[in-house]
Amino acid sequence: MSAPDRPRRRRGASVRSAPYGFLAPTAVLFLLFFALPIGYALYLSVRKVQIKGLGLGPDGREEVWAGLANYRGALTDSELLDGALRVLGYGAIVVPVMLGLALFFALLLDDEQVRGRRFGRLTIFLPYAVPGVIAALLWGFLYLPSVSPVTDALETLGLPAPDFLTGPALYGSLANIAIWGGTGFNMIVIYTALRALPVEVREAARLDGCTPLQTALRVKIPMVLPSLVLTFFFSIIATLQVFNEPTTLRPLTNNLSTTWSPLMKVYQDAFTGGDIHSAAATAVVIALVTLVLSFGFLRLATARTRREENAR
C-alpha cells in the first residue's frame, strides 16, 4: 500500500522507526524468555530464606536479602569442587575420544574409495537421535553385571568381566554413553565442512602425488580446522553440563552420588533440599565458568588461526 499524497516528513519518521518495528519481536522474546529468567535467577541468588525458631506455621519463614552469602557458600562448597573435578576427569576422556572418532569417521566417509558411505553416515549418526536418558538406560542394562550380556559373553569365554560401575571404570562407562551419542553429530559437522572443500584443492593434492593419508593430514585437516574448533567448543559446553547420564545411572550403583556433577548439585539443592537460593547462586557460578572456558577457548583458537593466516 502506498500513500502518494502523504507529507514527506511523516514518511521519514516512519522509515526511521521501521528498524525498531522489525527488532521488536526479537527484542520482546529475548527479554521475556532470556533476560527475564536470568535476571530472576540473579535476584534469587542474592536472597535467602530465614527461619525463626521451629519454623512451623505461617510465621516460620521469610525471604530476606543475603548479599553474596550464597556465592560464598557455592565457592567454598567442597562437594561442588569435587563435582567439578569429576567432570574434568570425565571430559578428559569424552572430548578427545569423541572428536578423534568424529574426525576419523568424517575423513573416512569423505574418501571416495570407501564403499557403503551413505549407510555408514546414517549408522554413525543414528545414536545422536536417541534421547540421552534412553541411551543411559540402555547402557545401564549393559553395565549391570548380573543382567549384562557383555559380562555374560566374557564369562562364557572365560575372561574376567570388569565391573563397569565401580572405580575408574565408571568414568569410562559414563564417557562411553556420551561418545556413543555425540560422535555422529560431530562427525556430520566435520564431514559437511570436508564436502565444502573446493574440488581443485583435492585435485591439486592428487596431482602433486599425495597419498590419501597425506591429503587428509596435510590438506583436509588444516582446512577444516574451524569446524574442529566449533565441535570442540560444543563439546566443552556439553561436558560441563553433564546431567542425564549420571542421574539415570545413579540408582543402579553405590558409586554415583546425588552431587556427582555440578549440575546435579544444583538440582539437588533446588529440588531435594528445597533451597532455591543456593541453587541459583551455584547455577550462576557454573554459567560463568562455562562462559569463560568456552569463549576463552574460542578466542584463543580464532586468534591463533588469524595469526597463522597472516603468517602465510
What is the binding site for other proteins (CB under 8 A)? 49-58, 60-61, 73, 141, 144-147, 166, 251-259, 268, 271-275
Tell the smallest beta-carbon distance from residue 52 to other proteins (Å).
7
Residue pair 278/73 in contact by the 8 Å Cβ criterion:
yes
Residue 273 beta carbon to other proteins: minimum distance, rounded to whole angstroms: 5
Residue with Cβ nearer other proteins (46 or 252): 252
Give the nearer residue to other proteins in terms of CB position, either 99 or 256. 256
Q: Which is nearer to other proteins, 100 or 273 (CB)?
A: 273
For other proteins, the closer of residues 111 and 163 by Cβ is 163
Based on its alpha-carbon atoms, the radius of gyration of the chain, rounded to whole angstroms, reads: 26
| Cβ 128 to other proteins shortest distance, Å | 26
> Please, what is the minimum distance in Å from the beta carbon of residue 49 to other proteins?
6
**From the CB of 286, what's the least distance to other proteins, in Å?**
19
The minimum distance between CB 246 and other proteins, in angstroms, equals 13
- The least distance separating other proteins from the CB of residue 271, rounded to whole angstroms, comes to 5
Contact indicator for 242, 290 with CB cutoff of 8 Å: no
CB 187 within 8 A of CB 106: yes
CB closer to other proteins out of 148 and 183: 148
Say if CB 194 and CB 224 are below 8 A apart. yes
Nearer to other proteins, 255 or 290 (CB): 255
- Count Cα atoms within 13 angstroms, Cβ side, for 297: 16
- For other proteins, give the closer residue by CB, 38 or 64: 64
> Alpha-carbon distance 181 to 214, whole Å?
30
Smaller CB distance to other proteins: residue 147 or 292?
147
Closest CA to 220 of 240, 241, 239, 192: 192
- With 0-12 CB in 10 A as exposed, 13-18 as middle and 19+ as buried, what is 229? middle
- Our CB check for other proteins shows the closer of 116 and 251 to be 251
Q: How far is the CB of 180 from other proteins (least distance, A)?
A: 20
